[in-house]
């Protein structure tokens, strides 16, 4: 979340920047500043009351020592009143602090200056494109038909066991999934990312820490009996490993990678664009997460973008990169680049990765700080990216690598899969 001091010092600039998201922040910003003013006033009175109480306590001790018991007892009555007032002020302060936090949760991150104006994904800015789209002819099939033809993914069986959006991978389909996971993890660890295997459930504090709560509460699966949430991405547990931490500067950069299943309710998602692997309730993803010094976070973002580029080059998939506009930017992100692979059989672009810099927004929620060279505590920057999400990468491979003889496996994956063709 945004820092109150930053809002107070840059009120008009914050409101103007958030307008790029089509978010009218005027009223909530006014409410934040009013709450903060009230909170600071209560804090000042509390500090004064405690100071007066402490002063009287010292005087009482001296009076008792000098035998002036009557005067000492009179002052004790005053300190009792001051302690009661301190208790009331503390309760008021806690209420104001909680109210202020809830208001701040309603405000999205301020977009980076390079974020383009726009309302929907149609206004996103294409910044890079690479790879040749294969010419497959009229007989080309979409991946859900190829999956059925070669018996590698069973969508109906998944519906029987659980429901729509929970596919069952079989035979070479399952092995290709495993090959992609291993390949992605190897590429990430070779690039200096430390591999983690985090929990698949998070508590409420973790959800608030990275911004899934309260913004995306309805999109997460909730286990009510234990008050836990199934993770929407490994970004959440990995980033929360550093919640309430104060780091030394020499620990930067912190680079993490993890493979996990991901769970998303995707409420309200219907239509042909969600067929097959296009949108699922459970899917596999390999993630990269970085904790960075603020001065280095945008260099780190560029490095993450280049890293995903290299993976897609090795897979030889046609792809493009979009800079998300204000209206399509995630709630917690300052700047996001989306990678999309071209699905030849569907004749459309499919999002396969988002690489984002959250600047200090998540760190402020997480209380993730570092000590600078002068010993001053400051907020770190956090970043994350898909490297990569499997379903649409697999869809792109199945569709773009299909031939009359079967589906070719990308050369880089053959050592991992143990076969070169699905037929």
Q: What is the pLDDT of residues 348-383, one digit of tens each?
A: 999 999 999 999 999 999 999 999 989 999 999 999
CA distance 129 to 312: 11
pLDDT at site 65: 74
| Percentage, residues of the chain above pLDDT 90 | 85
Ligand-binding site membership of 265 (annotated): yes
How confident is residue 28, by pLDDT bands cut at 50, 70 and 90? very high
pLDDT at site 56: 83
pLDDT at site 268: 54
Nearest to 109 by CA among 363, 377, 368: 363
Q: What is the DSSP string of 81-133?
A: HHHHHHHHHHHHHHHHHHHHHHHHHTSPPPPPTTPPP-SSGGGPEEEEEESPP
Is the confidence at residue 421, as pLDDT, over 60?
yes
| Domain-wise residue ranges, the chain | 4-105, 121-422
pLDDT at site 272: 52
Write out pLDDT tens, residues 287-342: 999 999 999 999 999 999 999 999 999 999 999 999 999 999 999 999 999 999 99
The side-by-side arrangement of strands in the sheet containing 222-223 is: 201-202, 228-230, 222-223
How confident is residue 136, by pLDDT bands cut at 50, 70 and 90? confident
Homologous superfamily (CATH) for 121-422: Bira Bifunctional Protein; Domain 2 (3.30.930.10)
Q: Considering the domain delimited by 4-105, tell me its CATH architecture.
A: Orthogonal Bundle (1.10)
Q: Which long-range contacts (CB under 8 A, 24 or more apart) does 186-191 make?
A: 187/307, 187/310, 187/311, 187/314, 187/387, 188/257, 188/286, 188/288, 188/307, 188/387, 189/257, 191/255, 191/307
Which of 53-62, 226-235, 342-351, 399-408 is predicted with the least confidence, judged by mean pLDDT? 53-62
Q: Supply the mean pLDDT for the chain.
A: 94
Ligand-binding site membership of 384 (annotated): yes
Ligand-binding site membership of 421 (annotated): no
CA distance 311 to 56: 69
pLDDT at site 137: 80
Ligand-binding site membership of 66 (annotated): no
Cβ pair 115, 82 in contact under 8 A = no
Ligand-binding site membership of 287 (annotated): yes
Query: What does DSSP say about strands 421-422 and 369-371: parallel, antiparallel, or unpaired?
Result: unpaired
pLDDT at site 335: 98
Ligand-binding site membership of 351 (annotated): yes
Neighbours of 412 (CB within 10 A): 15
Nearest to 382 by CA among 109, 188, 102: 109
Ligand-binding site membership of 233 (annotated): yes
Is the confidence at residue 120, as pLDDT, over 60?
yes
Q: Which residues contact 47 (CB under 8 A, 6 or more apart)?
A: none
Ligand-binding site membership of 354 (annotated): yes
Ligand-binding site membership of 125 (annotated): no
Q: Is 250 exposed, middle or buried (0-12, 13-18, 19+ CB in 10 A)?
A: exposed
Ligand-binding site membership of 266 (annotated): yes
Tell me what the mean pLDDT of segment 383-402 comes to.
Answer: 96
How confident is residue 82, by pLDDT bands cut at 50, 70 and 90? confident
């Amino acid at each position: 979340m945004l820092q109150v001091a930053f809002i107070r010092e840059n009120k008009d600039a914050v409101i103007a920047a958030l307008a790029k998201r089509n978010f009218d922040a005027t009223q909530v910003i006014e409410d934040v500043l009013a709450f903060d003013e009230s909170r600071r006033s209560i804090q000042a009175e509390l500090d004064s009351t405690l100071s007066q109480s402490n002063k009287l306590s010292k005087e009482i001790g001296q009076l008792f020592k000098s035998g002036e018991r009557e005067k000492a007892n009179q002052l004790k009555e005053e300190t009792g009143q001051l302690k009661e007032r301190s208790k009331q002020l503390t309760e008021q302060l806690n209420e104001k602090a909680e109210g202020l936090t809830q208001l701040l949760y309603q405000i999205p991150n301020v977009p980076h200056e390079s974020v383009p104006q726009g309302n929907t994904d149609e206004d996103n800015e294409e910044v890079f494109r690479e790879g040749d789209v294969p010419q497959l002819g009229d007989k080309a099939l979409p991946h859900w038909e190829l999956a059925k033809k070669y018996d590698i993914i069973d969508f109906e069986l998944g519906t029987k066991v659980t429901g729509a959006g929970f596919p069952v991978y079989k035979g070479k389909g399952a092995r290709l999934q495993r090959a992609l996971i291993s390949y992605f993890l190897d590429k990430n660890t070779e690039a200096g990312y430390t591999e983690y295997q985090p929990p698949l459930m998070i508590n409420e504090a973790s959800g608030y820490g990275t911004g899934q709560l309260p913004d995306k509460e309805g999109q997460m699966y909730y286990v009510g009996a234990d008050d836990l949430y199934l993770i929407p991405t490994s970004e959440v547990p990995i980033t929360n490993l550093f919640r309430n931490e104060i780091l030394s500067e020499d620990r930067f950069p912190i680079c993490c990678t993890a493979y996990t299943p991901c769970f998303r309710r995707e409420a309200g998602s219907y239509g042909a664009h969600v067929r097959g692997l296009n949108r699922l309730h459970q899917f596999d993803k390999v993630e990269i997460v970085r904790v960075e010094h603020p001065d280095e976070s945008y260099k780190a973002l560029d490095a993450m973008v280049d890293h995903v580029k290299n993976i897609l080059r090795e897979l030889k998939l046609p792809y493009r990169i979009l800079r998300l506009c204000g209206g399509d930017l995630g709630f917690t992100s300052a700047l996001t680049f989306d990678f999309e692979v071209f699905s030849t059989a569907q004749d459309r672009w499919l999002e396969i990765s988002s690489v984002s810099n959250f600047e200090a927004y998540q760190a402020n929620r997480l209380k993730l700080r570092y000590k600078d060279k002068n010993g001053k505590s400051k907020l770190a920057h956090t970043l994350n990216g898909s490297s990569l999400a499997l379903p649409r990468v697999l869809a792109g491979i199945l569709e773009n690598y299909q031939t009359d003889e079967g589906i070719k496996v990308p050369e880089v994956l053959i050592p991992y899969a143990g076969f070169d063709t699905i037929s």
